[in-house]
Amino acid sequence: MPSHPHDRLSRRIFSNPAHASAELRTILPAELVAALNLSELEVVPGASYIDEVLADRQVDLLYRVPLWGSDESALVYVLFEHQSSVDPRMPARLLVYMARIWEQWMRARPSGKLPLIVPAVLHHSSSGWTAASRFAEVLAIPDQLRTGLQGAFVDFSFFLDDLTSSTEEELHQRAQMTAVARLALSALRLGQSGQPADIDRWAQLLLETLQEPDGLRAFETVLRYLAHVRDDDDDFIDVLVRATDDEEVEAIAMTYRERLIQQGRDEGREGARGILAKLLLLKFGELNERTESRLANASLAELEAWSERVLTAETVDAIFES
């Protein structure tokens, strides 16, 4: 199943420990940041615990982080929410995902204590976060009984980064974050609706991004994201690139656009080749090696011309005659 543009952007940027740790330093409380050795953060590869039905609206990443003054490590589970509405049962959903992590841990390690899991949600929607962030709030317990029942039920809170409630200026001023991470968050928050008024800040971020170790790849990732989520991607990207007034940025954008065009041509050629091969197979039976070689080396124009001859041609060779 093809990944969603939000998925590709979130996973590509925040699979980098430098950008992930910068985001966590911003959203976690100071005492928790002080307990975590975020400079040693590492991504747990291949880990995903979300339900398949939500895969187009959520992305999750799991990190392993050593605890200062201990041989133990904590796990930080971050869920990236890309929905138009707010999930009122988010704490319960997170508990299910956390239980899956612990279950996997117990299968791999039959004895010993379980690791601490720090849950966090990065969210953006049209309304911003309006639901509970504490598990006890989604439990059907009368208010007058809550105090007396404390200790009888599971309770926890998750840490929230609500991009919708942040202004562009606030996002760009997150001093602890890398320029790449700030650019990614800004793209997620405003990629679909960014206006010319936002261009100057984005242009400055692009220039800062290119100074960082993986800035070039991040820049191309953001361009790809904008091309997928905006209806006016060409105009918006052109204005953005011009606003940087930087020849390197312009060259990168031009190279990216040419590559995107070539990719579209390649995909079109592959699709036309597959359709023509099926038509030939249906009309003439098994294709010989010579015919398969012709199809493999044909241009898109040739494939389209040959497809038009299938209905009237009496032999396979007649289709390829000039």
Q: Tell me, what's the pLDDT at 1?
A: 40
Task: Find the helix or strand (DSSP H, E) in which 5 lies.
Answer: helix 5-14
The CA distances from residue 176 to 19, 20, 89, 183, 295, in Å, are: 10, 11, 31, 13, 54
- Tens-level pLDDT at each residue, the chain (322 residues): 445 667 778 888 899 999 999 999 999 999 999 999 999 999 998 778 887 655 556 788 999 999 998 999 999 999 988 766 788 999 999 999 999 999 999 999 989 999 999 999 998 877 788 898 999 888 888 887 877 787 778 889 999 998 888 877 888 788 788 888 888 888 887 655 555 566 777 777 778 888 888 887 887 787 777 777 766 555 666 777 777 777 777 777 666 666 555 555 566 677 777 877 888 887 888 888 888 888 887 777 777 777 777 777 788 888 877 6
- CA–CA separation, 168 and 172 (whole Å): 6
Closest Cα partner for 178 from 147, 213, 135? 213
Tokens representing 87 are: 């999930």
Q: How far apart are CA 115 and CA 70, in angstroms?
A: 12
| Chain segment 100-127, per-residue pLDDT in tens | 999 999 999 989 999 999 999 998 877 7
List helix spans (H) across 173-246. 179-190, 199-209, 215-229, 233-244
Find the length of the chain: 322
Q: pLDDT tens digits, residue range 152-200?
A: 788 899 999 988 888 778 887 887 888 888 888 888 876 555 555 667 7
Tell me the sheet residues that pair with 119. 77
Q: Which two tokens stand for residue 35?
A: 């307990």
pLDDT value for 205:
79
Q: Which residues pair with 134 in a beta bridge?
A: 157
CA distance linking residue 316 with residue 188, whole number of Å: 51
pLDDT for 2 equals 43
CB 8 within 8 A of CB 222: no
Asked if 177 and 22 touch (Cβ cutoff 8 Å), the reply is yes
CA distances from residue 117 to 73, 138, 195, 199, 237 in whole angstroms, order as listed: 10, 20, 39, 38, 40
Q: How many helices, marked H, and strands, marked E, lie in the chain?
A: 14, 5
Amino acid letter, 264: G
State the pairing for strand pair 58-66/42-43.
Answer: antiparallel
Task: Show the CA angle centred on residue 116, arms to residues 112 and 119, nearest 5°.
Answer: 150
